[in-house]
Structure 1
Amino acid sequence: MSVRALLICLLLLIRPTPGLAEACGAEIPCPLGDRSYHVRLPDGWDGKTALPVLLHFHGWGRQGDLIVKHRRIAGHTRRRGVLLVAPNGLGRTWDFWRAGGRDVTFARAVLEDVAARFPVDPERIYVSGYSYGAAMAWRFACEAGAGVVALLAISGKLPQDADCPEAPGEVRQVYGFADDVMRFPYGPEGDVTHPVALWREVYRCGAAERLGDWQAVDWLVLERLRWDCPEGRVTLDLHPGGHFIPHGWIGWQLDQLMGRAPGYP
């Protein structure tokens, strides 16, 4: 069952439990069996309106409590009416190297638990991650991506020969040429589109459209390539920097995905 179908079924079968949402938040993790996750509600939420969800996987050595306070992540979701959900990886990392690992199952359970605590919009589920978390977001999209609107991956990926039986509606990837942690994955003959080769094959893409440069802040210019494909859309943003979350990147993607003019912050 897809993530969207699962959440729709949950919404039909259960209502968010009064008081349960207040039991956890940015500082207090939401318990889930022997594991947990963090949430950050958007500013000014009325307590009733169904919320878009951004499920974000933290980088190596981190936990969800950092994510829900991170200016380049939570700083954008809270201004856009999006519920930020940040699972905690065991040992501060993720099991993404092989198919069928524990963390895809855990992340699906997190989304189910979130739907029991908050009114969520099953038509607007986004998945993101940074570094090792980006690779974990890829893994989740590959195995549970049906029903996910978009994958937003930052400075990380899976091997391009990974098996992806499922896929999100679209993929948005950003990578820096000077990344010295999860090094930029050039393809044959220096092909700079290689970071999304897997998804271009999954979506049966043709040639890229070069959309030119864009920037959310003065100090970082990104070049955008886009593939509008028979089975989905792929966007690749490239920049000259290293291993970091570009200022404004998550906010711009969410704005565009939700049909708004991109803004910063």
Structure 2
Amino acid sequence: MERMTHSAAITSLALALIMAAPAAHAICGTAEGACTLPDGSYELVLPSDGQGAVPAVMFLHGHGGSARGVLSMRGVISALTDRGYAVIAPNGARRAEDGPRSWSFLPTFGGRDDFDFLPAVLADAGERFNIDAEHSVLAGFSSGAFMVNYLACERPDSFAAYLPVSGGFWRQQPEDCAGPVRLYQSHGWTDGVVPLEGRILGGGRFIQGDIWAGLELWRETLGCATHAPDRMWQEGELMLRSWSCHAEADLTFELFPGGHMIPQGWADRAINWLEASELDAEHTD
């Protein structure tokens, strides 16, 4: 479905990000350095100066990616750990023995139940590394971003907030979601892999959804009385709009210039948004 995406995205990312060295990843005793669960594995980076329980950003790779590939995004990892966040990078499951790793956000995909697996990873990291699960968030790129949206929709209380990049829902998208969430969604204006309007794949077997329609679903979930955003603004080449129509949730959409990639400065902007919210006052005090 996204066979052309991962290598191109990593190349764009490498050119766009400042490549600072990350903290060493935590090792659970295996030769590969991955932490293992019955249904899969993950890798983890801790902030160098973390004391006590620390919040985490769980980041889901794109189709064909891996946890190790996520940790190779040194600019993103360093930006997050420098802000005091651990980074948890789960490995997607292979749908065939030698197939690419991805996420089962649709029932037709079969395989591992990632709606159970990802919260289990967070709980395991909490026990092993003193991760503050209550203030940890779920992020993802491309297929990982689709998984972020679907988990947020189906099980909104699994993470404190959701940060999808370059992905939304598929058609037919859910008619409703289980509850409101805090969500910061980012998408590229010229994304041709996951266009803003969606596209048809596999001879019509799969249809990427319209990003704007997904935002409408989230507005309805938040109970917004109007489609119009509460705020619209521009930061350099970034165009943003936000909706704050729920006492315990909010929605921000970031439209950036460029294609299927993680834009430069995304990690700091996402954490700024997370920590600026009054909903996260307990963590930021």
Alignment of 1:80-95 (within 5 A): 80-91=83-94, 92-95=101-104
Q: 1:246 to 1:167 in 2, by over 3 A?
A: farther
Contact kept in structure 2, 1:53 and 1:124, CA below 8 Å: yes
Q: Does 1:96 align with 2:108?
A: no
Q: Which one of the candidate residues 141, 144, 151 is aligned to 2:152?
A: 141
Question: For residue 204 of structure 1, what is the aligned residue in structure 2?
Answer: 223
Distance 2:211 2:49 in 1: 41
Question: For residue 245 of structure 2, what is the aligned residue in structure 1?
Answer: 229
Deviations 1:194-239 (A, max 9, x none): 4411111111122213431115xxxxx2101011112521101112
Report the residue type matching 2:238 in the other structure: L
Structure 2, unaligned stretches of length 5 or more?
1-25, 95-100, 199-209, 278-285
Q: Which one of the candidate residues 259, 268, 284 is aligned to 1:242?
A: 259
- SS of residue paired to 1:96: coil
Report the residue type matching 2:129 in the other structure: F
Q: Which one of the candidate residues 180, 191, 212 is aligned to 1:179?
A: 191
Alignment of 1:50-69 (within 5 A): 50-69=53-72
Distance 1:106 1:65 in 2: 18
Distance 2:188 2:147 in 1: 19
Contact kept in structure 2, 1:59 and 1:132, CA below 8 Å: yes
Structure 1, unaligned stretches of length 5 or more?
1-20, 216-220, 261-265
Question: For residue 7 of structure 1, what is the aligned residue in structure 2?
Answer: none
Q: Does 1:150 align with 2:153?
A: no
Report the residue type matching 2:60 in the other structure: F
Contact kept in structure 2, 1:147 and 1:169, CA below 8 Å: no
Distance 1:163 1:32 in 2: 33
Contact kept in structure 1, 2:180 and 2:221, CA below 8 Å: no
Contact kept in structure 2, 1:56 and 1:85, CA below 8 Å: yes
Distance 1:141 1:23 in 2: 28
Distance 2:230 2:29 in 1: 44
Deviations 1:69-99 (A, max 9, x none): 3134312211111011111011211111239
- SS of residue paired to 2:259: coil
Question: For residue 15 of structure 1, what is the aligned residue in structure 2?
Answer: none
Q: State the 1:121 CA deviation.
A: 2.0
Distance 2:130 2:178 in 1: 26
More deviation, 198-207/94-103 = 94-103
Contact kept in structure 1, 2:149 and 2:169, CA below 8 Å: yes
What's the TM-score, normalizing by structure 2?
Answer: 0.72
Distance 2:261 2:164 in 1: 12
Report the residue type matching 2:185 in the other structure: Q
- SS of residue paired to 1:120: coil
Q: How many residue pairs get matched?
A: 229
Distance 1:55 1:211 in 2: 28
Distance 2:42 2:211 in 1: 35
Deviations 1:82-135 (A, max 9, x none): 011111011211111239961111111111111110212233121110000000
What's the TM-score, normalizing by structure 1?
Answer: 0.77
Distance 1:222 1:32 in 2: 39
Q: Does 1:162 align with 2:183?
A: no
Contact kept in structure 2, 1:72 and 1:245, CA below 8 Å: no
| 4+ residue segments displaced more than 6 Å | none
Q: State the 1:42 CA deviation.
A: 1.1
Deviations 1:10-34 (A, max 9, x none): xxxxxxxxxxx65259x61101115
More deviation, 67-76/136-145 = 67-76
Alignment of 1:32-71 (within 5 A): 32-46=37-51, 49-71=52-74
- SS of residue paired to 1:112: helix
Distance 2:273 2:130 in 1: 23
